[in-house]
Amino acid sequence: MKFDTPAGANPIDRMAVVGRAHDRIDGPLKTTGRAPYAYEHHREAPNAAYGQVVGAAVAKGMVRSMDLDAARAAPGVLAIVTAADLGKLGFGQFGKGKFNTVKLLGGPAVDHYHQALAIVVAETFEQARAAANLVRIDYTRSQGRFDLDEALKTAPLTGGSSDEGSAAPGMDRVGDFEAAFAAAPVTLDARYTTPDHSHAMMEPFASIASWTGDALTLWTSNQMIAWGHGDLAKTLGMPKDKISFQSAYVGGGFGGKLFLRTDAVMAALGAKAAGRPVKVALPRPLIANNTTHRPATRQRIRIGATKDGTITAIAHESGSGDQPNGSPETAVNQTKLLYAGANRLTAMRLAVLDLPEGNAMRAPGEAPGMMALEVAMDEMAEKLGMDPVAFRVKNDTQVDPEKPTRRFSQRQLVRCLTEGADRFGWTRRNPKPAAVRDGRWLVGMGVASAFRNHINMASGARVRLDGRGVVTVETDMTDIGTGSYTIIAQTAAEMMGVPVDAVVVRLGNSAYPVSAGSGGQFGAANATAGVYAACVKLRDQVAQRLGYNSADVAFAGGKVTSGNRSADLAQAAAAGELVAQDKIEFGDLEKQWQLSTFGAHFVEVGVDAYTGATRLRRMLAVCAAGRIINPKSARSQVIGAMTMGVGSALMEELAVDPRFGLFVNHDLATYEVPVHADIPHQDVVFLDEADDKANPMKAKGVGELGLCGVGAAVANAIYNATGVRIRDYPITLDKHLEKLPAVA
């Protein structure tokens, strides 16, 4: 199905099932332990051995020698695989996939700390771990580049894309920024920093590999089946049709599992060498240093405005680092679109670093970019003597400010800000910093806009109707804890006129039609649109089988009706199962219209006047993101994103050891993330919206919108509470304690 004109009225508009709150249909399986995650396919892969990955102990250098004798002689050891063994295992064409920046098996060259150099396979996990510790590697260490500030001094302008909706060229200009900034009566020139972040998902990177002859089955934890399937085939030098790539349930990914990672490759190599299934789970230190992370940024924002608050000049420059051939963190993307201003400049620089690979993490680009931009907007509002909400509203735009002939398909930012302000009691905010106290607490409120682009991606599905009236959906879409099973069931139920419990959903298997996958908040809208397309075909088949006119056929209550004729849906498949397959493909509508999502975040904090400790008191998110398919799971997505934003604002930071090039706080004991005690009441409001320019579902995404701007709203609230402006995240108490107002 080609989507190239705005969606008209269609069966989804009935919203008998879609748009209503539904419990997660996978919830009972997960709460009773019957949903098998990647490491738990014991029935399909019996008698599995255990693999332990050996990571490099240097960040840059060469392997001079590797002594495996003691490890091979250790109890229970079945096999050890290094890069030197690939040829004899039949992987002479072993290579690097399309999506990872560095190779997933190192040697003799080492590209970063904890790069995989070997896998040790043994009968038990404990034996594999013990034997891996007996591997002795002698290195020649090289000088590494680990200092982002130093490397950015000579870093070139570099454009890039997150591959999931956030992109910008190395430099982009509209008008004459420098002249307009110099002429502006009110200006701001400020610098902000964000640190490296870890995904810290609950389920580790984990895989089980099993060979049958020259065919491989891999159960893994991955967000994008088609990407991982293709990259595994390319890495191993195998035909794709010889690999079954499966990921039915994923315990969190946040972008870290968009791509093929070491656990999958090493499980496949270990299983080949051991001649039996092998399971691999990366320990936490390797999750931080072996896989990917959100790169640190150094950002400069300049804003010039007239005295009435009209922005006349805006510039956003960002620098980040990555491995050679990597991409920048696209932190300037939202500044190209969020506010009006005739004279504009955005620029990105990319430094080459020898730290572990930087790549997509939830809302790549916008998440750290808005942590800076939305603080700068508050700082500018203060210079102008304007309310921060009013300043943002004044500089709203209904057109792409770089391409004024291109309108937004839907843009309800002003409603998000104004209605959010009303709900939150913004008028009670004292604009004078450090003016409100509640006992020992300094109390403040903060606001930030929310923005995230919507991206259209082709997405396919196959639907089946059997003689019982049961509809089965098959697509390689994944559920990473977001509710994909449920919204896909809702879509099929709405289209075929059956209840949700009459729909069976099968996900996460490379044997199923290729979907958009889970990432960039594009998954829900595109995957359900693909199911919509397949169901349109199935509806036609049902009408033909029943001899009805497909132009006026209606599906509701398990029945099919055309004129004065009616039959049970199941009757259409009485003579045999009906099967339909299709995908949604997109034309040029997104070139004519800017497809984006908008929101506003409001936060109230208390800062202890004696200790400087920050406590969240209230949080509100107001979101405008197209049709919300399942408000219940969408709310869960947003409050989870808000929680992640609190972490970015107050505690999350991968600490770089500048001597040895590793992240030293590489576990959940030392890399702090928010816990229940850190999070107050969170309120989420969805504005009514149906975007007919987006897809037949008229839906967009919301999971990353809920994160974008949260860190800045927290930072702005802390400033309002204390009068101390901190521009270097995370905002830990040591950064403002000495500057807090006197307690006596």
Residue positions annotated with a catalytic role: 704
Amino acid at position 220, single letter: T
In the block, which residue shows the tokens 């006047």?
A: 609
| DSSP-assigned letter for residue 357 | P
- Asked whether 377 and 312 are in contact (CB, 8 A), the reply is no
Q: How many residues in total does the chain contain?
A: 744
**Alpha-carbon span 597 to 453, nearest angstrom:** 6
Q: Do the strands 243-246 and 215-220 form a parallel or antiparallel pair, or are they unpaired? A: parallel
Q: Do the strands 578-586 and 565-568 form a parallel or antiparallel pair, or are they unpaired? A: unpaired
**What contacts 664, CB < 8 A, 6 or more positions away?**
655, 656, 657, 670
Q: Do the strands 116-122 and 49-55 form a parallel or antiparallel pair, or are they unpaired? A: antiparallel
**Alpha-carbon span 655 to 210, nearest angstrom:** 37
How crowded is residue 722: how many other Cβ atoms within 10 Å of its Cβ?
A: 25
**Alpha-carbon span 596 to 607, nearest angstrom:** 35
DSSP string, 417-461: HHHHHHHHTGGG--SSTT--EETTEEEEEEEEEEEEE-----EEE
**Alpha-carbon span 284 to 663, nearest angstrom:** 12
**Nearest Cα residue to 741 out of 610, 605, 650:** 610
**What contacts 719, CB < 8 A, 6 or more positions away?**
378, 433, 444, 446, 725, 726
**Alpha-carbon span 404 to 419, nearest angstrom:** 27
**Alpha-carbon span 472 to 466, nearest angstrom:** 8
Orientation of helix 484-496 relative to helix 523-546, angle to 10°: 30
| Residue 248, both tokens | 């039915």
| Residue 626, both tokens | 């197209």
Q: Do the strands 403-408 and 459-465 form a parallel or antiparallel pair, or are they unpaired? A: unpaired
DSSP string, 264-315: HHHHHHHHHHHTS-EEEE--HHHHHHTS-BBPPEEEEEEEEE-TTS-EEEEE
Give CA separation, 245 vs 37, 96, 116, 211, 574, in Å: 13, 18, 21, 12, 33
Q: Do the strands 471-474 and 503-506 form a parallel or antiparallel pair, or are they unpaired? A: parallel
